[in-house]
Amino acid sequence: MTRHATKYIGILTSGGDCPGLNAAIRGVGKAAQGIFGMQVIGFRDGFRGLMENRTAPLGLDNLSGILTVGGTILGTSRDKPRRMLVGGKEIDVSETIIANYQKHHLDALVCIGGGGTQKNALYLKEKGLNVITLPKTIDNDVAMTDVSFGYHTALGIATEAIDRLHSTAHSHYRIVVVEIMGHRAGWLALGAGIAGGADVILLPEIPYDVEKVAEAIRQRSRAGKHFSVVAVAEGAMSARDAAHFRAADESKQEARTKLERKKAKNALQEFQTRHAGNTLRLAKQLEGLTGLESRVTILGYVQRGGSPSAVDRLLATRLGTACADLISEGVYGVMVAARGEKTEPVPLEKVAGKRKTVPLDHAWITSARLVGTSLGD
């Protein structure tokens, strides 16, 4: 395919931050300018900065030294083009975004983000913009890519935390319950739970029975191991709560009228607010059912912070440079997916609105069971 005249491309990062975002920005920007002779401009704070036309220079000098830096030099937000809070009202700002895209004579817009960003990018593609996305998230739940960058670094952080919690658990003969991020997918808790040697791993994909968790811990006590480490994904639920959640989620999907949608949304919000305390409640329940003291650690945003791992720097650079290459060939409307050691452009229609959760027959789940880890079921 012939390579075209100078192209102007915009880059933004959107959604939760994660390690590797700057490595990706650098990968796109260095290849685009250094190899393909393109002009590159950044937009601050996700789609909001594009709407407010707030830009950031991304010349080769600005890209120097950011490979190892955590977070994103562009800033990010969870604002959506279809429904953005402006002047106290949620409005569709896509017309303003299109106007700014044209004002900068952009040939393409690179959106680096997780599941929500893929959906927002598809919306702008449907509005006629040339968009191309890169998958990032510590949750590893973006569909149609082997892995997202940010995951590997968070996996290392959560595993190290579990390693450290082991020493205090067995020194005090306690149950240590550690809550791990991941939103509604269990990749981070499962990976770190196995790598850290957790005795129990609870995932959103496998609703748990607290009595079975307690029995696994009591079994360890009977075997003389008077401590246990329980790795809980933030989205994990008991079987009873999972049934409630499914019902609330279904009524939201099935709601027809504005009033029904509002009621369903409130019910779901109420459920999620109550669920926020789930890990603390679980620890208390286990204390009661086992007679062992319990302590809770919620890892939180530590998992999203700091310098990216070598694996994430490599992945983000690979995806970023492949993105610039695709733009030079005029390929748009796709996500740059990781596929083994290669990359592959996947139409956004195949990615948006889908969530990659842990399949119940996944090899990691089998391995966890084979080393005697309880999954609470």
DSSP letter assigned to residue 9: E
Cα separation, 213 vs 79, whole angstroms: 39
- For residue 352, give every residue at least 6 positions away whose Cβ sits within 8 Å of its Cβ, in sequence order, or none: 118, 119, 121, 122
Instruction: Give contact residues for ligand F6P (rule: CB under 6 A).
Output: 16, 78, 114, 137-139, 181-183, 234, 304
Q: Give 3-state DSSP helix, strand, coil % of the chain, rounded to 5.
A: 45, 20, 35
Alpha carbon dihedral 316, 72, 179, 280, in 10-degree steps, equals -160
Cα separation, 220 vs 46, whole angstroms: 48
Least distance to ligand F6P, CB of residue 154, Å? 8
Least distance to ligand F6P, CB of residue 260, Å? 27
Residue 68: both structure tokens together: 């190892």
Which CB sits closer to ligand F6P, 191 or 333? 191
Which of 376, 332, 357 shows the shortest CA–CA distance to 121?
332
Least distance to ligand F6P, CB of residue 372, Å? 28
DSSP 3-state assignment of 177?
Answer: strand
H/E element, 164: helix 151-172
DSSP letter assigned to residue 4: P
Residue 83: both structure tokens together: 């429904």
Which CB sits closer to ligand F6P, 108 or 189? 189
Instruction: Evaluate whether 183 touches 358 at the Cβ level (below 8 Å).
Output: no
CA 115 to chain centre: 7
Least distance to ligand F6P, CB of residue 325, Å? 28
* Sequence-ordered strand ranges (E) for 142-238: 174-180, 200-202, 228-233
Instruction: Evaluate whether 66 touches 22 at the Cβ level (below 8 Å).
Output: yes
Instruction: Evaluate whether 356 touches 148 at the Cβ level (below 8 Å).
Output: no
Least distance to ligand F6P, CB of residue 141, Å? 8
Catalytic sites, residue numbers: 139
Which of 138, 112, 354, 105 shows the shortest CA–CA distance to 234?
138
Least distance to ligand F6P, CB of residue 183, Å? 4
Least distance to ligand F6P, CB of residue 300, Å? 9
Q: What is the DSSP string of 41-71?
A: EEESTHHHHHHTT-EEE--HHHHTT-TT--S
Which CB sits closer to ligand F6P, 17 or 199? 17
Residue 269: both structure tokens together: 């919000």
Polymer length in residues for the chain = 377
DSSP 3-state assignment of 135?
Answer: strand
* Sequence-ordered strand ranges (E) for 192-235: 200-202, 228-233
Least distance to ligand F6P, CB of residue 139, Å? 5
